[in-house]
Structure 1
Amino acid sequence: MPTDLPSAEPRTGPILKALSMPLPSRTRLAALFVALTVGALGVTTWASGHGSAQPQVAPEAAVRPSVTEGSVVQLVAHPDDDLFFMNPDLSRSIATGVKVTTVYLTSGESDGRNEAHSPHLEDPAAPADRAAYAEARQNGIRAAYAEMATGSRTSAWRRAAVPTAGGGSAEVDVLLARPEVNLVWMQLREARSISGDNPDSLRGLWDAKVPALGSQLTSGTPVRAPFSYTKDQAVDAIAGVLERYRPTTVRTQDPTPGRAEGGGAFHDHQDHMYGARFVQAATERYARSTGRPHFTVQNYVSYPNSALPPVLDPRTAEEKLGYLKTYAWTDREDWCGSPAGCGDRKTATRPTGAGWNRAIRYSRGEGTTWMTEGVPGRLWAFAVLDGRMAYWSRSGPQGSWEGPNLLTGTGMDTGATAARLPDGRIAVFGTRTTLGATPQAYGRTLVYAVQAAPGGAFGPWQSLGTPDTADISGTSAISAPAVSVDADGRMTAYVRDSRRTLRLRTQTSPGGTFGAWQSLGGKGLQGDPVTATDAAGRTHVYAATATSVLAWTRPAPGAPLGGPFPTGLPTGTGPLSAAAEGGGVRLYFRLPGTGTVATTLATSDAPAPRFSPVTEAGGTGGYGGVGAAGPLLAGRAGAGTVGVTTTAPATAAAGSGSGSASASAGAPVWRESQMLFTGSPAAVAEPDGTAVAAALGLDAGLHVLSAPSPGSEPVNSRPPLPWHRAVTARTTAQAAAPDTAAAAERRP
């Protein structure tokens, strides 16, 4: 992060300071998670040289309510990237008692001066001490993590040096009071510039501008001997950390943030971007190891949050800010006794960052269309595990779930889009990153696979390429696709390109080849586009911007898609969801600053759609996409867990417009689970009216919930069945084999 960040008042106290004190509901839930799970989970402690396998789930556990399980490894470029861009996911994971390890690729040494960037505070003549400043940042991080885990920033750590698989050494810190919380310091040299072309950097190492990148050891580290890594050694070192900790969830930054308008600098810090590319390479290498659990990858937006609406509600944003103030050492009390200082004073001038304490966004995997029905009653759910597309299937309404089964082909990015063809076959779309033998070969393409017969095996992956044809390595920021299918079975894929406009490719005939990329225009699109087809066969496509939503409509099958049309809808926080509803399409999104789910019904008798007044779906806020099916909504609740409501939002007065109408006194009740998850939930309505929701837990397992069809009684009077794991845990060896009936993969 930039270190020229305005003093703020010290934090009033950690939320878990004393369980006997009156606590907000979110905190009570976090404390409950600790009580329920921390004593039962194994601990992987690299520093002490031993580990434990993932807990084996008993067969009868499938009917028990899901709680947060698994292990998390976060890999970031700099100390504080986790606090700014991965919280509150981070603090909530720690609160549940799951194993949490954060890996810092660089020391974040900057200019070596641990003072706020302010003319009256800076001393240009003061000597730079990069080792000391890096140590101060370590002290601040340890304090923030200790506070998140124990309520006290002074909780003790054990620090040790360990050899890495790359031939160097890393520092590993273990929180003694909560030994499942570990910090790993790789201590590589940072770029010391947001965008400057400095060869001695992760970017220079990735682009082969230097043969090796050296270390920047901190002043207090137990690592004594400097070292350097070649590109391959750096990948080995990171993969070795993954092998030690055996995560089920990997969190990292965005490897493809795209370039600023005009093709200039990247939208993000170069260390964030190229550090994430090293993590991509390391996860691909780690995926080839045996005996590990399945894992998912979640990518986070960093600097681009500055230009987007706030996501978090005020209480959550203040909680996040408190940990940042601890890291920034805003009170200047010498609690740590380190000559280097007890935190990062550069951050103390603006601990909110550029509004980052109010934001958290995923750059991949926010779609809600990864589950669908094939032949009546048979459900299919998709997610990327171990860099490969995985699927689960349920044979019928009373049948059991099976999976995960892995399709052939590696390099798949987080996120999947499932589409049903008229005969009941399923097509799955995603994007794939090719690392390439040279830096210029790095790039992302859109791919898809289709079942040969309803309920049968999937055919080979086929490539639709990318709408970005220049500067592939720098502009591979295409979104995940939205997919529509017309009555004849002709598929159309829509993506946001790196210029943030909308593009499409459509089949020339059902089952045939796709035509060329077409441009649909738009400007400043964010996130993934969404699409749905109403009862009259009209196709609707929507994409969010930083201030509203743009629309495109196809008035009849075979007609050209019109738009973009301004909708006049209010600003949302990012991901959209769309579901057909009678003669229209219902949109769901979240309102800035509260995270409340809002909805509107779009109808399209004319080229441009009309919208009913926006209504709110109750609840205590949250963030991320919302899965919708019939009366069921599923999304991230205020506590970060997966929550559901089983009634439609309050109906507003008839008419059109963009104003927001609050839900009535009978607003939907959101029921929160005890499970944290990745991405966004999906939901499907079955013919009998039952709605099924699915979410991917931090354990990389599919978890499902069924809501009964509404009868004469109010829907909310009967709670849905609890979230539970769809399939009992399986080892990698049991599930590593690909779909055996799949044909050999066809490479682009």
Structure 2
Amino acid sequence: MKYSPGINRYLKLALSEMQLSKYVIATILGFTLCSPLIARSQVMTPAPMVMQVVAHEDDDILFMNPDLSASVSAGTGVVTVYVTAGESNGSLTGDPRTLYAAQREEGARAAYAAMLKQSNTSLTWIRSLLTLPNGIVAEKNTLRSNPSVVLIFLNLPDGGDPDAAYALYHLYEGVAPSSYATIVPTGTDGIGLKSSTYGSKSDLVNALVFLMNQYKPTVIRTLDPRPYSCPACTGIDYVNFDNTDHTYVGRFVDVALNQYLAASTSVPRVSLRNYLGYSIGQYQGNLGASEYTVKRSVFDAYKYWDHNLLSQENNYLGYFGTSYPKYSGGTAWLTQTQSGNLAAFSVQNGKLAVWSRPNANQQWTGPVLQTSSDPLMPGVAVAKRPVPDNRMQVFALSIPLAQNTDGAPESLKIVTSIENTAGGLNFTKWLSLGIPTMNCDPNASCLASLGSPIVATSQNGLFHVFIRNDRQGISAIHQRTGDTWSSWSDIGGADLFGDPTVVVSKNGLIHVFGTSRNGQISHWIETANNAETFNIDSHFPTTSAASTTNASIDSDGKIALFYRQPGTANVVFIKESVSDSLWSATVTNISNDGGFGPVVPLLNPTTKKLSLVTTNSLAGLSSSTQSSPASSVYSGWSKLNGLYVGYPSAVADNGGNTVIGAIGQNGRLYINGVAVGN
């Protein structure tokens, strides 16, 4: 990563020592995790393998931590591919390009050794050559004490190298010059590394496909292939800018992953996770003190080898307390069907993955990967169609790879699919709902920042779909009788991140919440039942959030809104004082158990208590429950450990049991900490 023009607005705190059990079955806060309703799967769990594909030698530790540290510390197989040598025009202290490239590689080795609490010496790593398709040669570093940790340096020219400026852009777009020789870092002659030539886009795509085939990742982490850019913006308002190398690495991964999956049906299921880059320094700090400490310590191990960073360290302060995914994946993907059965929905291999539990006495089955013409992004919204239809309907964001360029309105679309038959959980016919193009800023990367859809059901049983639009506000589209749809309309808002939150009040009114990058929560309320129009709540309390929000109706009928505080990552909530009218300004602090990201509330229909589920500092989950119905007092946090992708979901089954779901880094569905299905 090179110098960011971003201004550090927040001094952020955040990863205590990570340790992980395979899973814990315990009783958490009044509900039993090892319920007889939850059957243990007999299917052997595949070993998780996480692949990071990044542009520069510090991108993974800056943008993918603390997720990366959690995987490494847990003993998960990890392979990181550095696409460029990061040599720029040499260091600011006068080191030539090949020496600066070698220094940054050593920094990467030092960072991974630090994550494993090992010293970094010449004996720590086994350095060797790796031959890729078309005779291209890369450097492979294998951790001697743990061969499942591998670093691969492709050594393509950095975008800031004046002798090969923006090489990745030229290769991807086929713009001359479109042939580039790799950099040979100083000292690599000892292992016989020589320069290779990437002569086309396909050379790099084939190299990545080769590596995916070799390591069979179950999770791929990479950077944002579609950052929202605003050339007319400057300084602090230039929010979602990113480095060109970051963007094109993300795009190369999209193409390579599509080819890898298309060539074989026997590879492990893959979850794709994109991370925001430079812009995270201009968002609220969403990591707590422990996460900050470990992320900073890993970075400190790297920085002593990067002379540019040492001279500009103050420009990096905003990155240590933050980590934001491009797509959160949502928290409402575990649901009860109209028949009372349970179903879970995720995106794997770019397709809708569906698990099901037919009844309380049967095991979970799945996932079944559903047919779709174009890849889906993480984040699926699920809704029940009204009686007598009884079918489920899903909504997702689809991005055709063939049109994966900024500024093409047809390149993104919101799609929906209705279950073929009630209870079958098969979704084969997809309808495009289009996109809210009326907002597209001609000075921005059109539609690049569309979020994932969120759905609410109005009092008349019709659906309303909400998304973060290209102007970082919220747009909506409304279902009409006969499965026709309105045109897209604006709800309002600006500068929002993540996905909106929706909840239907006890009186049937839809409430919508959005969080801006400066932490302000905005609230809109439906003007009347089934109205399709919304007013901004100008009296909503001023509060600051470092996560998207989640809402639930408490047992007293009032809406409670949960989120995390900036800097501390503490879980807090505010609550209505008068339904559909007034909110209390009191912010109640429930503390935290580490971790970051959204908080999932669920009202148990039997106990009438709200339970909260969120991530913890062990990269697992923690839960807390109200001491009594409608109380503002919550119990201490109890852990349900694991190693997961994205965020959890929770639902009550028809027996009144609270069921917590999470997607493991091995691709399996975990229910209350136990792997189920396949």
TM > 0.5 between the two? yes
Q: CA deviation at 1:276?
A: 0.5
Tell me: CA distance 1:381–1:179, structure 2 relative to 1, closer, same or farther (3 Å).
Answer: same
- AA aligned to 2:379 is G
1:162-173 → structure 2 map (5 Å cutoff) = 162-165=130-133, 167-173=135-141
1:352-501 → structure 2 map (5 Å cutoff) = 353-409=316-372, 410-423=374-387, 424-436=390-402, 439=405, 443-456=411-424, 457-468=426-437, 475-501=447-473
Which residue among 521, 528, 540 is the counterpart of 2:492? 521
Which residue among 292, 305, 311 is the counterpart of 1:317? 292
Q: CA deviation at 1:208?
A: 2.5
Tell me: CA distance 1:351–1:69, structure 2 relative to 1, closer, same or farther (3 Å).
Answer: farther
1:624–1:679 Cα contact (<8 Å) kept: no
Q: Distance in 2 between matches of 1:500 and 1:166?
A: 43
SS at match of 1:240: helix
1:167-206 → structure 2 map (5 Å cutoff) = 167-192=135-160, 200-206=166-172
Tell me: CA distance 1:68–1:636, structure 2 relative to 1, closer, same or farther (3 Å).
Answer: farther
Which residue among 268, 271, 275 is the counterpart of 1:300? 275
Q: CA deviation at 1:508?
A: 2.4
1:625 paired residue number: 598
- AA aligned to 1:204 is H
Which residue among 625, 635, 638 is the counterpart of 1:671? 638
Q: Deviations over 1:324-347 (max 9, x none)?
A: 111111xxxxxxxxxxxxx11211
Q: CA deviation at 1:580?
A: 3.1
2:11 paired residue number: none
- AA aligned to 1:300 is Y
1:167–1:233 Cα contact (<8 Å) kept: no
1:482–1:531 Cα contact (<8 Å) kept: yes
2:547 paired residue number: 574
1:345 paired residue number: 307
Q: Deviations over 1:37-69 (max 9, x none)?
A: xxxxxxxxxxxxxxxxxxxxxxx9936999995
Q: Deviations over 1:277-326 (max 9, x none)?
A: 11111111111233211110111122111111111122321221111111
1:657 paired residue number: none
1:167–1:237 Cα contact (<8 Å) kept: no
Structure 1 gaps of 5+ residues are 6-23, 37-59, 116-125, 330-342, 653-662, 706-722, 730-748
1:15 paired residue number: none
1:680 paired residue number: 647
SS at match of 2:308: helix
2:619–2:641 Cα contact (<8 Å) kept: no
Tell me: CA distance 1:319–1:539, structure 2 relative to 1, closer, same or farther (3 Å).
Answer: same
1:198–1:204 Cα contact (<8 Å) kept: no
1:511-660 → structure 2 map (5 Å cutoff) = 511-545=482-516, 546-566=518-538, 567-581=540-554, 583-602=557-576, 605=579, 609-611=582-584, 613-630=586-603, 631-647=610-626
Q: CA deviation at 1:260?
A: 2.6
Does residue 88 in structure 1 map to residue 52 in structure 2? no
Q: Distance in 1 between matches of 2:560 and 2:198?
A: 55
Which residue among 250, 255, 268 is the counterpart of 2:225? 255
Q: Distance in 2 between matches of 1:557 and 1:61?
A: 41
Tell me: CA distance 1:537–1:202, structure 2 relative to 1, closer, same or farther (3 Å).
Answer: same
Tell me: CA distance 1:416–1:604, structure 2 relative to 1, closer, same or farther (3 Å).
Answer: farther
Q: Distance in 1 between matches of 2:647 and 2:280?
A: 19
Q: CA deviation at 1:477?
A: 1.3
Q: Deviations over 1:492-522 (max 9, x none)?
A: 111111211111111122x422111111221
- AA aligned to 2:361 is Q
SS at match of 2:128: strand
Q: Distance in 2 between matches of 1:72 and 1:25?
A: 19
- AA aligned to 1:163 is T
2:28 paired residue number: none
- AA aligned to 2:652 is A
Q: CA deviation at 1:397?
A: 2.5
Tell me: CA distance 1:212–1:649, structure 2 relative to 1, closer, same or farther (3 Å).
Answer: farther
SS at match of 1:397: coil
- AA aligned to 1:521 is G
Tell me: CA distance 1:255–1:25, structure 2 relative to 1, closer, same or farther (3 Å).
Answer: closer
Does residue 62 in structure 1 map to residue 40 in structure 2? yes
Q: CA deviation at 1:452?
A: 3.3
1:138-157 → structure 2 map (5 Å cutoff) = 138-154=105-121, 156-157=124-125
2:32 paired residue number: none
2:347–2:353 Cα contact (<8 Å) kept: yes
- AA aligned to 2:637 is W
- AA aligned to 1:692 is V
* % identity of equivalent residues: 27
Q: CA deviation at 1:476?
A: 2.0
Q: CA deviation at 1:474?
A: 5.1
Which residue among 221, 226, 231 is the counterpart of 2:201? 231
Q: Distance in 2 between matches of 1:484 and 1:198?
A: 50
Residues matched between the structures, number: 628
Q: Distance in 2 between matches of 1:177 and 1:299?
A: 29
1:36-51 → structure 2 map (5 Å cutoff) = none
Q: Distance in 2 between matches of 1:569 and 1:400?
A: 46
1:626–1:682 Cα contact (<8 Å) kept: no
C-alpha RMSD over aligned residues = 3.0
Structure 2 gaps of 5+ residues are 6-13, 25-37, 604-609
Q: Distance in 1 between matches of 2:383 and 2:258?
A: 27
1:374–1:454 Cα contact (<8 Å) kept: no
Tell me: CA distance 1:90–1:516, structure 2 relative to 1, closer, same or farther (3 Å).
Answer: same
1:241 paired residue number: 211
Q: CA deviation at 1:76?
A: 0.8
1:163–1:170 Cα contact (<8 Å) kept: yes
Q: Deviations over 1:121-165 (max 9, x none)?
A: xxxxx4x61111011000111011112124212251111111213
- AA aligned to 2:553 is A
Q: Distance in 1 between matches of 2:437 and 2:251?
A: 19
